[in-house]
């Protein structure tokens, strides 16, 4: 290893981040709201639970079953709200973390639903001295809206299982996505039995009002921010493909233009959800980060060919209509608060890193870009980065097996930038690369709060 990045003159301090985007506060507020919501649900249960709710094993099982159903019903709404693109949540937490919270809550919701069903069946079995299967059938027949609830519950379980890593990796994104969309129907199907048969709702007007408000509010948020506003915005901003430009082996840039491109408020490091209105692209919207922020009415994304959608992008015709939703994301330059910034990119991560480099220079920083690629043919946008005044680019080329080491390991990084612990890092690239780079930076004593990482996956 011969390279060492020299920083002779200290770079000017990158402009400190704005208060609005300071991480932590907003995300704590969202978490506090969630905890408060659970406390309210516990209160709703506690205030309407009958005396003797735990007097016998049968009563205790039934009470736990009811409670888990209520908490599960609340958390399902939270899960939906987290990914409903509610601007306050998005600004406070960032869509990528909201998606990860949504995913983490999924396991708890599934667990609560299973506990709900099992405990009610076993509680009833003990009380009525019925075998479990007979009790299950009896519950289905004696309470209103139970068949729809059963269908909804089975659908929930299927969606939950489809997200388990083992199964998820075997499904195409589109199948997984459309299975998830059925969750809205499942929520509706299971909602009915809560109001018509739920012991804590049937004759409890306050609980009913709170529950109806929760579900209606959730539905209104989804309709407003996931469907109506994005569709209106996308239609008003009608973007079109201006050109598709090959950048390197398997990487293409798509230039987009439209009457309102400049007004989108896109910042370097942001991503948008793009739905190309062309054959083979209609199934789902795909997230891509901007590799050049809007200027002169154009914005650019740079896309690595990995699957059916991204491979078809080069065939897009100029003039094709594109619906874009966003911008989203908090991988932005205003989070930089240290004078020295290192940008670590690999694969498709070079798009957002290139945009960030430009923005950081504009803010007075002199970023160093460590650009990991398996061969020189995979260094998309290299010339552009090298031509940026104030940016130092260090290509780290070669497979680990050829090099005999990983250039993003602790020692190679320490060799490149000896005082790396005093720097701030933005990392974007394949998951393995990101994890390794982050681990090395942590081993070099860079505090976690100065390491910003963008995952190029939301599933
Ligand atoms: C925040 C973010 C920013 C991104 N920025 C870029 C970028 O600038 N350049 C780039 O090349 N790639 C980027 N990606 C990755 C890009 O979205 C996927 O590579 C692309 O959607 C793959 O689609 P495919 O059909 O070609 O591949 P597939 O083989 O169908 O999918 C490969 C993987 O991509 C993910 N994926 C597929 N479709 C979607 C979808 N509709 N929505 C979300 N994830 C999906 C899934 O994890 C899937 O396992 C970004 C991803 C995220 C989450």
Are 22 and 94 spatial neighbours (Cβ–Cβ below 8 Å)? Answer: no
Whose alpha carbon is nearest atom 7 of ligand 1?
A: 288
My answer on whether 84 and 210 are in the same domain is yes
* Residues 318 and 243: beta-carbon distance below 8 Å: yes
Same domain, 322 and 337: no
Residue 175 has what pLDDT? Answer: 87
DSSP states along 44-74:
HHHHHPPTTTTSSHHHHHHHHHHHHHHHHHH
Closest to 176 measured CA to CA, from 103, 269, 259, 76: 103
Q: In this structure, is residue 15 part of a structural domain?
A: no
Residue 149, domain extent: 49-229
pLDDT band at 4 (very low <50, low <70, confident <90, very high): low
Tell me, yes or no, whether 309 and 338 share the same domain. Answer: no
User: Of 282, 305, 328, which residue sits at a domain end?
Assistant: 328
Task: Report the pLDDT value the prediction gives residue 459, as an integer from 0 to 100.
Answer: 58
* 29 domain residue, yes or no: no
In a domain, 282, yes or no: yes
Q: How far is the CA of 457 from the centre of ligand 1 (A)?
A: 6
Q: How many domains does the chain have?
A: 3
- Which has more confidence, 281 or 215? 215
Selected residue with higher pLDDT from 177 and 381: 381
CA 113 / ligand 1 centre spacing (Å): 31
- Check: CB of residue 295 under 8 Å from CB of residue 266: no
Q: Are residues 324 and 354 located together in one domain of the fold?
A: no
User: Same structural domain for residues 94 and 176?
Assistant: yes
Q: How far is the CA of 304 from the centre of ligand 1 (A)?
A: 9
426 Cβ neighbours under 8 A, 6+ residues apart: 269, 331, 336, 341, 342, 343, 344, 353, 356, 452, 453, 454
> Reading across the β-sheet that carries 424-428, which strands appear in turn?
392-397, 368-373, 341-346, 424-428, 451-454
> Ligand 1, residues 165, 307, 349, 459: which to mutate, most atoms within 8 A of Cβ?
307
Q: What percent of the chain has pLDDT over 90?
A: 71
Nearest CA to ligand 1 atom 51: 456
Question: Is residue 316 situated within a structural domain?
Answer: yes
Query: Does 435 lie in the same domain as 372?
Result: yes
User: Which CATH number is 270's domain given?
Assistant: 2.40.30.10
Residue having the nearest C-alpha atom to atom 2 of ligand 1: 456
Beta bridge partners of 451: 425
pTM equals 0.83
Question: What pLDDT shows up at residue 238?
Answer: 87
C-alpha angle 146-152-156 in degrees, rounded to nearest 5: 140
pLDDT above 90 for 189: yes
For residues 110 and 157, the answer to whether their CB atoms sit within 8 Å is yes
Distance in angstroms (rounded) separating the CA atoms of residues 331 and 289? 10
Q: Which residues line ligand 1 (CB under 6 A)?
A: 96, 172-173, 271, 284-289, 301-304, 306-310, 348, 351-352, 456-459
């Amino acid at each position: 290893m011969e390279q060492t990045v020299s920083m002779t003159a200290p770079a000017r301090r990158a402009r400190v981040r704005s208060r609005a985007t300071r991480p932590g506060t907003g995300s704590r507020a969202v978490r506090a709201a969630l905890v408060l919501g659970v406390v309210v649900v516990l209160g709703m249960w506690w205030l309407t639970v009958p005396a003797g709710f735990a007097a016998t094993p049968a009563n205790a099982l039934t009470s736990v079953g009811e409670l888990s159903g209520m908490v599960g019903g609340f958390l399902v709404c939270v899960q939906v709200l987290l990914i409903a693109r509610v601007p306050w949540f998005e600004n406070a937490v960032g869509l990528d973390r909201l998606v990860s919270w949504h995913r983490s809550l999924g396991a708890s919701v599934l667990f609560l639903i299973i506990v709900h069903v099992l405990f009610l069946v076993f509680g009833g079995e003990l009380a009525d001295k019925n075998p479990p299967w007979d009790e299950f059938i009896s519950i289905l027949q004696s309470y209103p809206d139970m068949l729809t609830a059963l269908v909804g519950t089975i659908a929930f379980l299927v969606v939950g299982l489809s997200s388990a890593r083992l199964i998820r990796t075997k499904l195409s994104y589109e199948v997984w996505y459309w299975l998830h969309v059925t969750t809205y129907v499942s929520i509706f199907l299971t909602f009915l039995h809560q109001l018509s048969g739920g012991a804590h709702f049937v004759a409890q007007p306050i609980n009913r009002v709170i529950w109806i408000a929760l579900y209606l509010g959730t539905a209104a948020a989804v309709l407003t921010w996931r469907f109506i506003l994005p569709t209106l915005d996308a239609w008003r901003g009608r973007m079109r493909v201006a050109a598709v430009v090959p950048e390197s082996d398997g990487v293409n840039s798509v230039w987009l233009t439209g009457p309102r491109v400049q007004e989108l408020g896109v910042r370097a490091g942001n991503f948008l959800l793009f739905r190309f209105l062309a054959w083979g692209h209609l199934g789902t919207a795909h997230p891509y980060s901007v590799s050049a922020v809007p200027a002169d009415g154009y914005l650019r994304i740079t896309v690595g060919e990995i699957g059916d959608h991204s491979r078809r992008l080069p065939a897009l015709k100029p003039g094709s209509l594109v619906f874009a939703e966003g911008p989203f994301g908090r991988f932005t330059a205003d989070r930089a608060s240290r004078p020295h910034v290192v940008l670590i990119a690999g694969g498709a991560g070079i798009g957002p890193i290139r945009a960030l480099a430009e923005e950081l220079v504009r803010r007075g920083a002199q970023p160093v870009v460590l650009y990991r690629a398996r061969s020189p043919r995979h260094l998309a946008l290299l010339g552009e980065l090298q031509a940026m005044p104030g940016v130092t680019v260090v290509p780290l080329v070669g497979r680990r097996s050829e090099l005999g080491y990983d250039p993003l390991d602790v020692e190679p990084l320490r060799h490149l930038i000896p005082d790396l612990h005093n720097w701030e890092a933005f990392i974007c690239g394949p998951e393995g690369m990101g994890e390794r780079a982050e681990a090395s930076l942590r081993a070099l004593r860079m505090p976690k709060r100065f390491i910003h990482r963008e995952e190029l996956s939301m599933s």
